[in-house]
Structure 1
Amino acid sequence: MKRVVITGLGAITPIGKNTKEYWKNLLNGVSGANKITRFDASKFKTQFACEIKNYNPLDFFDRKEARKLDRFSQYGLISTKEAIKDAKLDFSKLNVNRIGVIFSSGIGGFETFEKEVIDFTKSNFQSRFNPFFIPKIISNGLSGQISINYGLRGINYCPVTACASSTQSIIQAFNYIRLGKADIIISGGSEAPITEASIGGFNSMKAMSTNNENYSSASKPFDRNRDGFVVGEGAGTLIIESLDSAIKRGAKIYAEVMGGGESSDAYHITGTHPEGLGAYLAMESGLRESNIAPEEINYINAHATSTGLGDLSEIKAIEKLFASNLDKLQISASKSMTGHLLGGTGAIEAISTCLSVNTGIVPPTINTTEIDENIPNEINLSLGKKSTKEINYALSNSFGFGGHCAALILKKYIRD
C-alpha cells in the first residue's frame, strides 16, 4: 500500500475567500452569519445564513463562462484553482492519465434549478429553458468541469451522501491512491444552498435556527439553548497525492492521510441515531484501518451542527470510543463560525483539521456559553478562543441525511 499525503489546499467560505483568510478568521473566532442578502427572506422563519461576503463571479470568471456555471460550480472551481497553485502542480510535466478528480456536492445546482422552474411557470409554461440548464444542475458537473479545465484523464466522479459527501470524496481519493490506481486526485466538495426553496424546505423540517435577533451567535454547538443549524455556502479542495509523487516533485506536505471510516446509522432519513451508533462505527473503523488506538487521537473536528439530537449523538459516540482518554482529547466545532455547508462542509473541515495537525493550533468553538447538561464535564470543547496542542493524529467527522457517516483520520507528517 502506498502512503498518501495532502499537498495543496483551496477554500472559499463565509469567513474567507481563500485558505489564508479562512484559517485566520477561524482562529480568531469570526462568525460568518448575516442577514440574507440574496433575496427577500422576510417571509421565512429563518432570515439569516452564512453567505460568502461580497461575492462577484466576474472577479473570477469572464461573463460568458459565469453564465454557464451554477454558483456551486463557481465556488468549486475557485477553490480548486487555489489548491492547484498551492500544490505547485504543473500538469504539462505530469502523467494526466494518473491524475483524477473526486469532487462532491450534496444538492448540486439548486439555485439554477429553482430559478429556471420559477421562470418557466411564471411564463405560463411558454418560456424556453436555458440550454445549460441540465449541465448546470447535475452534481457531477463540477467534477467533470475540473477534469475538462485541466485535461485530467484519471478517475472522475461525484459521491453524493448529503453532508458526508466531501469527506467521502477525500476518503475515496485516499483509497484510489494507496492502491496505486492514481498518483494525484483533486478532491473536495462545494455547495450553494442559500435559496428560497432551500430555506423554506429546511424551515418546514424545523432543522434550522430561527434566532433572527441574535443571528451572529445562532450557531452554538453543544449549547443547551441551541435551536438548529445555520446554513452556509462555499467550497474546499484538497490535493491528495501519493507520498512517492510528492517527494519526487519536491512538494510541501501538510499532513498524511491515514485512513477513513464509513458506515450507516440505518435509523432515520434525517435524524441521527440517539446513541450515535453510525458515528461510532465510522470512527472505530477509521481507527482500525489506520492501525491507531483511540488513545493516540489528540483532536477531533466535530460534525456538531448545533441541532439538539445530532450534537448529543456524536458526543455519545465519542464518549464511548474515547473513554480511556476523554480528558486529554480536544474537540472543536467550526460550524459555529462557518455554518453548515452541507455537501461542502467535510472539505473545509478537512482543510482546517489538516492545518491544525500542521500547526498545532486548535480553532475555537464560539457562541457556546451554557454547555448541554448531558455532555460530560471532562470533555474539552475548545470554547471561546484558539489553543495550542501537540497534534500527532486528528479526526474529522461528517454525517449526512440518510444516515451516512464518515470519519477522516490525518497524521502529522514527519519526513523519514
Structure 2
Amino acid sequence: MTKKIVVTGIGASSPLGGTADESWNALLAGESGVRTLEYDWIEQYDIPVTFAGQAKVPAEEVLERPVAKRLDPSSQFALVAAKEAFADAGSPEVAPERLGVDWATGIGGVWSLLNAWDVLREKGPRRVMPLTVPMLMPNAPAAAVSMHLEARAYARTVASACASSTESIANAYEHLQSGLADVVIAGGSEAAIHPITIASFASMQALSRRNDDPATASRPYNTDRDGFVMGEGAAALVLETEEHALARGAKIYAEIAGGGVTADSYHITANDPEGRGAARAMQLALEQAGASPDEVTHINAHATSTPVGDINEYTALHAVFGDRAKEIPVSATKAATGHLLGGTGALEALFTVLAVKNRVAPPTINLVSPDPEIPLTVSGESQALGDGPQLAISNSFGFGGHNAVVAIRSYDA
C-alpha cells in the first residue's frame, strides 16, 4: 500500500536569508541574493567573474566555533539547515534507528581540500590538519547531520551534480515508502564559491559575465541571458509518513507525492537537446504521484539562465504538457538565488512546498525581454495559484546527464 509522505519541517541558509522564512520572504519581495565578491583572490588570480550568490548569513556565525572549525563550509551549511528543519518539525521524538538522513552535494569539501593542498605546498606535510579527509569527503555533510541528530537508520549521500538534492528527496520518499525509517531529513548543501570552480566554470563559458550589475546577472528566459550565477548554502526538509506525523500532532506543509530520476546518457556537460531524459523524469514523478500532467498547477523550473539549457528545458516541458506548458505558472528562482549546484534542488523544493501551501508562485526577477522561443507563463511578480488543490513539480538537471524531479501536492487534512 502506498503511504502518503508529508513535509513537517523546513530549514535553509541561502543567498536570500539565513532561515527558510527569511529566504522565502525575500524571494516573494523580488530581492536578489547575488553580490560582488569581496575577496583578495579575485584580483590575485585575475578571476574573470567577480560575483556570486553568497549565503546571506555565514554558517560559521550561526554554529558554535568549536563545531564550525571541524567542518567544511558545505557541512556547516548542512548542519544549519538541518537543525532549523528538525526544530521546525517539533524535534520529533523518534527512535534513532528509525531516523534517517538523505543528503546531497555536487562538489563536496572543495575548500578543505584545496586549503590543505596550499598548506602542504607552503608549510609541509606535518602542518596538514588531521581532519582534512573527514572534512573534504562528500559524505561529510550527511555524517554531520546524522551525528548531531543521532540519526542511525542510515545516512546516505547523493552526488549527481546539480540534480543531487532533488534526487535525495526522491530517495527519501522511497525510503519512507519501503519502511527504512519513520522520519527522514532530506536536503543538500554546497559551498564551492572558490577561485578554482569559478575559473573552471568561466573557462567553459558557463557563467554570466555581468560584473557591472551582479543583481541582474541571473536572468532565466531573457533574450540576452549569458550564463548561470554560482550560489551557495543549503536547504533541508523533514519528511515522514502522514500516519506518523498525525500521530504526533505535527503541522504539515505539503505532500511529497512522487519523484523521478533518469539519465540522458548524452554528454558530460550538455543536456539532451530533445529533452527526453528530463521529460521522462517529469513523467515518472507524476506517475508515482498518481497524477496526470493536466493536474499540474505550478512548475519550479531548473532554469539556470544559460542560452541553451533554458530552451532545452522548455522542449522537455512541451513534451510532457503540450501546449498547456504555456499556461502553467512557472517560477525560475535561480534568478534570485543563483545556482547552488548540489544544494539547489532542495532549496527549490522548499520554495515549491511553500508555493503550494500558500497558493502562490514566487516571482522571477530580471525577466525584461522574454525569449520568444520559450513561451512560458513567467511573471516578475507573485502569481496566485487559486484556492483549490495544487500539484507542482520541481526540476533539477545536472552535468553527467542527471535528471531529477519531485512532485509536490498541497495538503488538506
Counterparts of residues 328-407 of structure 1 (less than 5 Å)? 328-376=327-375, 379-382=376-379, 384-390=380-386, 392-407=390-405
* Partner Cα distance (1:76, 1:238) in 2: 11
Counterparts of residues 113-152 of structure 1 (less than 5 Å)? 113-123=113-123, 125-152=124-151
* Partner Cα distance (2:79, 2:25) in 1: 22
Q: Which residue of 1 aligns with 2:301?
A: 302
Q: Look up the SS of the partner of 1:149 in the other structure.
A: helix
* Partner Cα distance (1:396, 1:359) in 2: 16
Amino acid aligned to 1:9: I
* Partner Cα distance (1:349, 1:61) in 2: 24
Alpha-carbon offset, residue 239 of structure 1:
0.2
* Partner Cα distance (2:224, 2:374) in 1: 13
Alpha-carbon offset, residue 388 of structure 1:
1.0
Query: Does 2:18 match 1:21?
Result: no
* Partner Cα distance (1:155, 1:127) in 2: 35
Aligned residues: 408
* Partner Cα distance (2:95, 2:282) in 1: 34
* Partner Cα distance (1:44, 1:112) in 2: 20
Alpha-carbon offset, residue 323 of structure 1:
1.1
Q: Which residue of 2 aligns with 1:76?
A: 78
Closer, same or farther: CA 54–257 of 1 in aligned 2, 3 Å = closer
* Partner Cα distance (2:64, 2:304) in 1: 36
* Partner Cα distance (2:125, 2:323) in 1: 65
Q: Is the 8 A contact 2:81 2:235 kept in 1?
A: yes
Amino acid aligned to 2:276: L
Q: Is the 8 A contact 2:59 2:77 kept in 1?
A: no
Q: Which residue of 2 aligns with 1:11?
A: 12
Query: Does 2:92 match 1:107?
Result: no
* Partner Cα distance (2:167, 2:59) in 1: 30
> What are the superposed Cα offsets for residues 276-305 of structure 1, whole Å, 9 maximum, x if unpaired?
111111101111222211110000000000
Amino acid aligned to 1:69: L
Query: Does 2:50 match 1:47?
Result: yes
Q: Look up the SS of the partner of 2:127 in the other structure.
A: coil
Alignment RMSD, CA only? Answer: 1.3
* Partner Cα distance (1:348, 1:48) in 2: 20
Q: Look up the SS of the partner of 1:348 in the other structure.
A: helix
Alpha-carbon offset, residue 215 of structure 1:
1.3
> What are the superposed Cα offsets for residues 130-157 of structure 1, whole Å, 9 maximum, x if unpaired?
1110000011111112111121110211
Name the stretch that deviates more: 174-183 or 321-330.
Answer: 321-330
Amino acid aligned to 1:73: S
Alpha-carbon offset, residue 321 of structure 1:
1.0
Q: Look up the SS of the partner of 1:281 in the other structure.
A: helix
Q: Look up the SS of the partner of 2:407 in the other structure.
A: strand
* Partner Cα distance (1:350, 1:138) in 2: 25
Amino acid aligned to 2:20: T
Closer, same or farther: CA 128–214 of 1 in aligned 2, 3 Å = same
Name the stretch that deviates more: 327-336 or 230-239.
Answer: 327-336
* Partner Cα distance (1:155, 1:64) in 2: 25
Query: Does 2:83 match 1:86?
Result: no
Q: Look up the SS of the partner of 1:322 in the other structure.
A: helix
* Partner Cα distance (2:368, 2:63) in 1: 42
* Partner Cα distance (1:374, 1:45) in 2: 30
Alpha-carbon offset, residue 126 of structure 1:
4.9
Identity %: 40
Q: Is the 8 A contact 2:258 2:406 kept in 1?
A: yes
Q: Is the 8 A contact 2:221 2:303 kept in 1?
A: yes
Alpha-carbon offset, residue 324 of structure 1:
4.9
- Structure 1 runs of 4+ aligned residues shifted over 6 Å read none
> What are the superposed Cα offsets for residues 102-126 of structure 1, whole Å, 9 maximum, x if unpaired?
1111111111111111222223x45
Closer, same or farther: CA 39–188 of 1 in aligned 2, 3 Å = farther
* Partner Cα distance (2:122, 2:208) in 1: 31
> What are the superposed Cα offsets for residues 203-236 of structure 1, whole Å, 9 maximum, x if unpaired?
1111101111121100000111011000000000
Q: Is the 8 A contact 1:295 1:324 kept in 2?
A: no
* Partner Cα distance (2:38, 2:406) in 1: 34
Q: Which residue of 2 aligns with 1:318?
A: 317
Q: Which residue of 2 aligns with 1:98?
A: 98
Q: Which residue of 2 aligns with 1:36?
A: 37
Alpha-carbon offset, residue 128 of structure 1:
2.6
